[in-house]
Structure 1
Amino acid sequence: RFMCAQLPNPVLDSISIIDTPGILSGEKQRISRGYDFSAVLEWFAERVDRIILLFDAHKLDISDEFSEVIKALKNHEDKIRVVLNKADQIETQQLMRVYGALMWSLGKIINTPEVVRVYIGSFWSHPLLIPDNRKLFEAEEQDLFKDIQSLPRNAALRKLNDLIKRARLAKVHAYIISSLKKEMPNVFGKESKKKELVNNLGEIYAKIEREHQISPGDFPSLRKMQELLQTQDFTKFQALKPKLLDTVDDMLTNDIARLMVMVRQEESQMPSQVVKGGAFEGTMNGPFGHGYGEGAGEGIDDIEWVVGKDKPTYDEIFYTLSPVNGKITGANAKKEMVKSKLPNTVLGKIWKLADVDKDGLLDDEEFALANHLIKVKLEGHELPTDLPPHLIPPSKRRLE
């Protein structure tokens, strides 16, 4: 049931994205999956750097299965972020109610002292249905992107922490197994002794904790361990091997410390923005919080400029936006461009294409181009990655 797709997108050079099937409501649908959904998610949760839970603002519902899924993510709360999506489909007052209801519902399931971070927005490229909260959506989107962009920097550190956790668990496991082996009789009463030891496993944990000064957090789940031990033959367990334990201790004390220094050095040498491409493109330059890409390239003089026929209409708007020396600022251009209700990720891309000479200002031709691209997008077409010759303004066709 697991499918993989490879796409030529620079975002995927830095991160891999795992998309889970949608949450189902109703017992019949849940049973028909044919596999343990929560267990599969738990397996992935242990191995990923970030878990994003998506909720639709206009139909907020935490079904029984979703509750089970969130409970399966226990011990990974630090990785969880929540996105309240399609928030442009409801009015501000209702959005506040939905946000409050979501926080209350999550508080009952995610049992942590820290409040889980919820990002509110509309994460698609369609026009915003109710654009009243555009500024909020912009800020939330930038915060979420920054959070995702930090993941490659922290990935090595997380793997190192997992290695430390696993080493400690292996060490504790050795103490538990050898203690059970030591308690077993050589000849008679093996089964009854085994039952007694499984029932009293909590006391064995406490004894090991005291004798070896081990933190309670390093022990495996008591209930799960008792379940697994039911089917084991204790007489085949190994006795403690101090040499192997010394090797683990040496690794935790010395090797990990050296690795930690190397990871820190590597981190400091990494660029601040690791995830690039797509909606992550660029920095905070420009009026839409997105940077500029490569130049549009040289145009061809005899190709007709398709924007020309609509330019007189766009010129009328252009001259109402207070041009100085024939150009308008990014802030003034933004005031007009947001009237399209397109989200910032899309308008940022349009700005990047329209600002052909990369001076952070738009002249009348560039402004006309920006409006043409908005029209293209609103008609349901995809925006080009780079300007094709028929879109390059005539006066910019000799630019390198």
Structure 2
Amino acid sequence: QVSSENVAAVIAGLKDLYARKLKPLERLYKFNVFSSPAMTDSDFEAKPMVTLLGQYSTGKTTFISHILGRSYPGAHIGPEPTTDRFVAVMGGSVDKTVPGNTVSVHANTPFGGLKRFGTAFLSKFECAQMSHPLLNDVTFIDTPGVLSDTERSYDFLGVTEWFAAKSDMIFLLFDPHKLDISDELKRVIESLRGNDDKIRVLLNKVDGIDAQQLMRVYGALMWSLGKVVNTPEVMRVYIGSFYDNPQKIILSKDLFDLEKKDLLRELSELPKRSCDRRISEFVKRAHAAKVHAYLIGHLKQQMPILWGKADAQESLVVNLEDEFVKVQSLYHLPKGDLPNIDTFRRVLAVHNIDSFHRLRPSMIQSVDDMLTHDIPKLLSNYAVS
């Protein structure tokens, strides 16, 4: 186990490396405009996040209330869709709710990146604060139930993808009486790709069914998920009835207690595990920023010195696939390391390529030194692997 002091030291070291070596590269080549906003202290220091997803009435809000021993401020529970917003359930000295527009600009929260989804989303986002020991270490994200043919005024899948990337664990909740995976839920699950190791399945509300029924339900659920979740690993499935005063429990109550104990243990281990995730995400970001710098430097180099700049820009944007191939070949990059070309082209089209900077090898070398020397040294000093 890595001590909390060592975790704090590693996070502080990453913040320092980011400020000195990675952030200057990102700023010079507009990585924050094309890809991801600059990291803040809250991105490094935020508590681990657990996001709950599922169709309506699978017990997401009730699960959080059951784990915490009481409902969070503003929670609504019922048989019909009740949660119509994203709610960050966080620790606080007093019970209160904070509107999304306020949360997104608060320096001490990791939700600044949500501003890009606009006020239509922020009006459907809020923070619920309450005092609880578990919330000193973990933040829960409650989400609207997934409904078919639901018109939303914001990019629901984009928001889901954003929270998935930020989360340390993702619970997919299912009701044994409603196992069908709708097209909308399928799209939500597909948006989690790249975060498969974080996914846990929670088969909730299993009180009232016997062992034979449970076997059938479990088999049907795994068969349905197998067609959507593209991972060779078997997902951990928790079984229980995570709400107060369940109906008559036909299955062994010991089973429910053991499952709940395992789940709480995994949640309690998240703070130390999240250190590994932050290191991994930091390294991934550094590689992405390098590739971005290669692309921007290459495009700048293709611009003429005097005349024909407008035509050259138009040609580069239209033939961006060819330029990607050239950069990939020139710097020996795996194809999977290149950014989404449609997103890149859309941003590139509204910028003046001639205003970009040429590639500065010294800055690339600085990031390479950080990846090959500084980070390994930091981790070895604090026995993190």
Match of 1:359 in 2: none
2:196 partner amino acid: E
1:161 aligns with 2:296: no
1:243-282 equivalent positions in 2, closer than 5 A: 243-264=362-383
Distance (Å, rounded) in 1 between the aligned partners of 2:201 and 2:136: 24
Match of 2:132 in 1: 9
Match of 1:93 in 2: 212
Q: Deviations over 1:140-162 (max 9, x none)?
A: 33332232222111112211211
1:131-146 equivalent positions in 2, closer than 5 A: 131-146=250-265
Match of 1:46 in 2: 165
Distance (Å, rounded) in 2 between the aligned partners of 1:109 and 1:193: 43
Q: Give the CA deviation at 1:99.
A: 1.7
Q: Which has the higher helix share?
A: 1
Matched position secondary structure for 1:3: strand
Distance (Å, rounded) in 2 between the aligned partners of 1:192 and 1:106: 49
2:349 partner amino acid: Q
1:187-226 equivalent positions in 2, closer than 5 A: 187=306, 190=309, 193-226=312-345
Distance (Å, rounded) in 2 between the aligned partners of 1:249 and 1:42: 29
Q: Does the CA-based 8 Å contact 2:210-2:250 persist in structure 1?
A: no
1:222 partner amino acid: I
Distance (Å, rounded) in 1 between the aligned partners of 2:336 and 2:380: 25
Q: Give the CA deviation at 1:199.
A: 5.0
Q: From 236, 240, 247, give the equivalent of 2:359.
A: 240
Distance (Å, rounded) in 1 between the aligned partners of 2:235 and 2:312: 46
Q: Which has the higher strand share?
A: 2
1:23 aligns with 2:146: yes
Q: Give the CA deviation at 1:135.
A: 4.0
Match of 1:69 in 2: 188
1:6 partner amino acid: Q
Match of 1:344 in 2: none
Match of 1:129 in 2: 248
Q: Does the CA-based 8 Å contact 2:209-2:250 persist in structure 1?
A: no
* Cα distance change, pair 240–95 in 1 and its aligned pair in 2 (3 A): same
Distance (Å, rounded) in 2 between the aligned partners of 1:139 and 1:174: 50
* Cα distance change, pair 194–113 in 1 and its aligned pair in 2 (3 A): farther
Distance (Å, rounded) in 2 between the aligned partners of 1:215 and 1:73: 22
- Residue segments in structure 2 that go unaligned for 5+ positions in a row: 1-123
Q: Give the CA deviation at 1:254.
A: 1.9
Q: Give the CA deviation at 1:207.
A: 3.5
Q: Does the CA-based 8 Å contact 1:58-1:90 persist in structure 2?
A: no
Distance (Å, rounded) in 1 between the aligned partners of 2:250 and 2:263: 20
Q: Give the CA deviation at 1:93.
A: 2.5
Q: Give the CA deviation at 1:125.
A: 2.8
* Cα distance change, pair 263–111 in 1 and its aligned pair in 2 (3 A): farther
1:325-364 equivalent positions in 2, closer than 5 A: none
Matched position secondary structure for 1:89: coil
Q: Does the CA-based 8 Å contact 2:209-2:251 persist in structure 1?
A: no
Q: From 133, 149, 153, give the equivalent of 2:268.
A: 149
Matched position secondary structure for 1:98: helix
Match of 2:295 in 1: 176
Q: Give the CA deviation at 1:201.
A: 3.7
Q: Taking CA–CA contacts closer than 8 Å with sequence separation of 6 or more, which of the two structures ends up with the larger relative contact order? A: 2
1:260 partner amino acid: L
Count the aligned residue pairs.
Answer: 262
Q: Taking structure 1 as the reference length, what is the TM-score of the superposition?
A: 0.60
* Cα distance change, pair 264–199 in 1 and its aligned pair in 2 (3 A): farther
- Residue segments in structure 1 that go unaligned for 5+ positions in a row: 268-400
Match of 1:55 in 2: 174
1:81 aligns with 2:204: no
166-175 or 145-154: bigger deviation: 145-154
Q: Does the CA-based 8 Å contact 1:157-1:263 persist in structure 2?
A: no
Q: Does the CA-based 8 Å contact 1:57-1:87 persist in structure 2?
A: yes
Matched position secondary structure for 1:110: coil
1:255 partner amino acid: D
Match of 1:307 in 2: none
Distance (Å, rounded) in 2 between the aligned partners of 1:253 and 1:77: 27
Match of 2:75 in 1: none
Match of 1:330 in 2: none
Q: Does the CA-based 8 Å contact 1:171-1:245 persist in structure 2?
A: yes
* Cα distance change, pair 105–227 in 1 and its aligned pair in 2 (3 A): farther
- Bigger-Rg structure (1/2): 1
Q: Taking structure 2 as the reference length, what is the TM-score of the superposition?
A: 0.62
Q: Percent identity?
A: 47
* Cα distance change, pair 230–112 in 1 and its aligned pair in 2 (3 A): farther
Q: Give the CA deviation at 1:250.
A: 1.6
Please give the root-mean-square deviation of Cα atoms over the aligned residues, in Å: 2.4
